[in-house]
Structures are given as C-alpha cells and as structure tokens.
C-alpha cells in the first residue's frame, strides 16, 4: 500500500464509489493508478457465452489495474465496486513522477505485482484439478499468506459465491467442501464466516 498522503501530495484525488459502479472497462486505455481506501472491488471479464469470470477481489489498502498502466495496453478486464467505498486515483503521469522520485515505493509496487503473478501461477494448475478441496485449500493458503500480523485466526472475507468465482467451482460445491474442511479441522465456521486457524 502506498501512503495515502504521499499519493495526494503527488496529485491523487479521493473518489467515492457506489456498489456496482464501473471504475475501469475492458478495452479502455489506462490513465490512472487506483488504490482502495474503503470497500471491495472485483475485476472480471466474460466468456463468449456471457459467463462471468472473476480475476480477483481487492480490498482496503490494495491497488488494482496496474499491469496495463505500465505497458500501455488496454484493460483486459473490468473493475467494479462490490460495495460502497472510496478509492484514491492519481494520473499516470503523476504516478510515474512519484515512482521515479521514490524508488522504495516503486519496489513495493513491484512486490505487489509479483504477489499477483505468484497467485495466478499457483492457482492455474489447481483450477484444472477435479478436486474441489485442493482448489479451495490452495486459495485459502494464498489468502492466509497476506496475514502479515501473524494472527492465529484469519477471516476469509469472501462469500461462497465469490469463492466459487475465484476457483471455478459451483456454489453448492464450495459449501459442501467448506463443511468437509471444517470436519477435518482445517477451518471453523462462525456466524456463517469462514475462519482459518493457524496450524501448529
């Protein structure tokens, strides 16, 4: 996460979002760097048959849509607000000035992009697996890796539908598999929420 005050110092602007609002669209060329202050954003595209494919979900402190910003290519996916929220956006020109003047920030952006590439590389073979348990466990392991505070419990802040969208599983399969993982002691379900428990 880039410091919000630093983004504003270089010309960043805060933008309020409403649920369902389109932030960026497939085919449009990027002109801003985006970072979430509040709320949740999803990136998606669609198959020729009209089936939605969700690339990822992004939450507070995360950025999205950077790869096309660096290579001057059109967006391959849409970014849509899943909830009401706020983002900070800074023009491409100003963002580049920030990165050139603050190498440590540039390094952090590189790390963020590397994490996403890593996620896609570890999830790609799992998506082709016929074992739904493997798919979900791999996704949970990735999400847990963001638990930088090393807390013993980690809340999966995604709905069953969203988990299905990220793993290519039907909602019914996700529900059934989560219950199975709970029986195995891999996680707990409290108030309908999935909680990952640190392993000894």
The residue whose two tokens read 């390094």 is 107
H or E, element range at 163: helix 160-167
* Residue pLDDT, tens place only, 80-135: 999 999 999 999 999 999 999 999 999 999 988 888 888 778 777 766 667 899 88
Give CA–CA dist 187/179, Å, rounded. 9
Q: Around Cβ 28, how many Cβ atoms within 10 Å?
A: 12
Give 147's pLDDT tier (boundaries 50, 70, 90): low
User: pTM for the full model?
Assistant: 0.76
Rounded to 5°, angle at Cα 59 from 69 and 172: 115
Residue 153 pLDDT > 90? no
Q: Which residues pair with 45 in a beta bridge?
A: 53
Average pLDDT, the chain: 88
Q: Tokens for 90?
A: 């800074």
Chain CA centroid to CA 113, Å: 11
Give CA–CA dist 153/161, Å, rounded. 22
pLDDT for res 104: 94
């Amino acid at each position: 996460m880039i410091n919000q005050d630093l983004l504003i110092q270089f010309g960043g602007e805060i933008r309020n979002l409403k649920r369902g609002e389109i932030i960026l669209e497939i085919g449009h060329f990027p002109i801003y760097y985006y970072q979430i202050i509040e709320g949740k954003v999803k990136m998606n595209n669609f198959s020729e048959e009209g089936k939605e494919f969700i690339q990822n979900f992004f939450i507070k402190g995360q950025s999205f849509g950077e790869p096309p910003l660096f290579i001057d290519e059109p967006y391959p996916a849409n970014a849509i607000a899943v909830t009401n929220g706020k983002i900070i956006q800074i023009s491409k020109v100003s963002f580049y000035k920030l990165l050139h003047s603050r190498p440590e920030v540039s390094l952090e952006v590189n790390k963020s992009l590397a994490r996403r590439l890593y996620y896609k590389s570890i999830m790609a073979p799992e998506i082709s697996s016929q074992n739904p348990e493997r798919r979900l466990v791999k996704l949970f392991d990735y999400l847990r890796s963001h638990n930088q505070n090393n807390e013993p419990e980690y809340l999966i802040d995604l709905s069953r539908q969203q988990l299905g969208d990220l793993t290519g599983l039907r909602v019914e399969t996700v529900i059934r598999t989560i219950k199975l993982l709970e029986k195995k002691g891999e996680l707990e379900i409290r108030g309908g929420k999935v909680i990952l428990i640190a392993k000894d």
